[in-house]
Chain A
């Protein structure tokens, strides 16, 4: 049972390392799926907007990690 729990935990870890990154991506994709159809933006822009948002989330997350790391070094 413990082995199964470990395997399931590690499987979860394949997709989610930093919870905030995964959550932000899921929220962005949901927002695009639900919201873009209701905006006056031409449909040809939907896919590029989806991609640019995902890329921005990744870069923002990396920069936040750096900021946290720097703050930890200042505290020391």
Chain B
């Protein structure tokens, strides 16, 4: 029971963070599939998934070979840059300074781009696969998948809960794919900015924690310092969004 309680925050954070990324990938796959056909769209997506699995299988064992402190520092730095980037964007979006991400608009833009792109000839075209469609879905799955891998490492590695965090991400993936198959439309009602805000806070806190560990700085309260950092980051970011929202008029989505 206590192990379950210990793993719960990692599972929930990985589930929510991955949900956002899977929704973004699904929007692109749906747009490409609707306009250019499902065969090339799914071929690209599956190739992307295979490349991702290969990257994880190749790089995963390497992580155990690298000395602990440099590894903690390097992963921490990447997580901090990744998390702070998400958090900055989420604050500016929450304040209305940059428009909210709109899956319906992204779907419309992607379908328009796919319609405009001409069918090209090339090695993939000879195999009766539309290369633009294959490359577009391949790229989407690889890029969003790497973000999912980062989220899982961020929330799972510090508390030795990588497996439960991976399960959280897998459930998010299955849920999004299932809904995509059922409704054949982009999932526009996911509160993406709120999720990005929350996950940006978590990843930034974990990134900072790992950098400190890598540099050999002792954290007051040890692992509990992560919780204190989450609270501070959340409070400061929400205050910044409030102040920013008062200073600059809101920008509507699509502007």
Contact = CB atoms under 8 A, between A and B. Distances in A.
B87 A33 contact: no
A43 B216 CA distance: 10
B225 interface: yes
B77 A26 contact: yes
Given A3-B139, A15-B78, A51-B212, A66 B247 contact: yes
Given A62-B92, A69-B248, A70-B248, A54 B217 contact: no
Contacts of B78: 15
A46 B212 contact: yes
Contacts of A47: 212, 217-220, 225
Interface of B: 77-78, 80-82, 84-85, 87-89, 91-92, 95, 97, 135, 138-139, 142-143, 146-147, 150, 204, 208, 211-212, 215, 217-220, 225, 229, 232-233, 236-237, 240, 243-244, 247-249
A5 B142 CA distance: 14
A39 interface: no
Interface in A31-55: 32-33, 36, 43-44, 46-48, 50-51, 54-55
Contacts of A36: 217
Contact of B217 (A11, A21, A50, A73): A50
Interface of A: 3, 6-7, 10-11, 14-18, 21-22, 25-26, 29, 32-33, 36, 43-44, 46-48, 50-51, 54-55, 58-59, 61-63, 65-66, 69-70, 73
Contact of B204 (A10, A18, A54): A54
Residue of A43, A47, A59, A63 with most chain B CB atoms under a 10 A cut-off: A47
Contacts of B135: 3
Chain B interface, >50% SS class: helix
B33 to A, nearest CB: 19
B82 to A, nearest CB: 5
Nearest to B215: A33
A66 B233 contact: no
Secondary structure type dominating chain A contacts: helix
B88 A21 contact: yes
A44 B248 CA distance: 40
B86 to A, nearest CB: 9
Contacts of B229: 51
A58 B84 contact: yes
B100 to A, nearest CB: 16
Contacts of B138: 3
Given A46-B217, A59-B240, A7 B97 contact: no
Contact of A29 (B211, B233, B244): B211
A25 B146 contact: no
Contacts of A55: 232-233, 236
Nearest to B208: A51
A11 B220 contact: no
Contact of B80 (A3, A17, A54, A62): A54
Contact of A43 (B85, B218, B236): B218
A50 B208 contact: yes
